[in-house]
Amino acid sequence: MTVKVCNGAKLTCSCGIGPSILTISSDNKVQINNQPAATVADNISGKNIALFPQCNSKSNPAVAQIIAASQGANTLGPCQFQPDGKWSPGSKTILINGKAALTKDSKLKCAYKGDIEITDPGQSTVQAS
């Protein structure tokens, strides 16, 4: 069993500097501790996932441009998170509006090589398998 994720969960990225927050639409009627529950489809940059403060991935065009301008010195640039698929694996048994519930062990890939992880699911009492 693993903990289900809800609005306000905290995220980290292997290429990101600083945390991000998961935001779930209030349109989702399924709630955990008075917060909307998350699904594996809650992966939209800027809507569900706030951009991380900075990025160090050379695959990120903004970072690559800054590195080129600084004559190859490794440096940070703005996050331009682009999801590469949905959160995985998600719950095997709980569906929310036809989509697997998001669980704390789920991960998400960024097209610029980052691995997004859930560090705090936003609640600790409701579990799923």
Task: In whole angstroms, give the CA distance from residue 13 to residue 82.
Answer: 12
- Residue 95 pLDDT grade (very low, low, confident, very high; cuts 50, 70, 90): very high
Report the predicted TM-score, pTM, of the whole model to 2 decimal places: 0.91
Interval 36-52 mean pLDDT: 96
Dist CA 38 CA 41 (whole Å): 8
Q: Strands 20-21, 10-13: parallel, antiparallel or unpaired by DSSP? A: antiparallel
Amino acid 25: pLDDT: 80
Residue 110, strand partner residues: 83
Mean of pLDDT values over 69-85: 91
pLDDT at 79 exceeding the cut of 70:
yes
Separation of alpha carbons 115 and 13, rounded Å: 5
Span of 23-37, 49-63, 86-100 with lowest mean pLDDT? 23-37
Looking at residues 42-59, what average pLDDT do you find? 95
Q: How confident is the model at residue 129 (pLDDT cuts 50, 70, 90)?
A: low
Average pLDDT over residues 29-45: 93
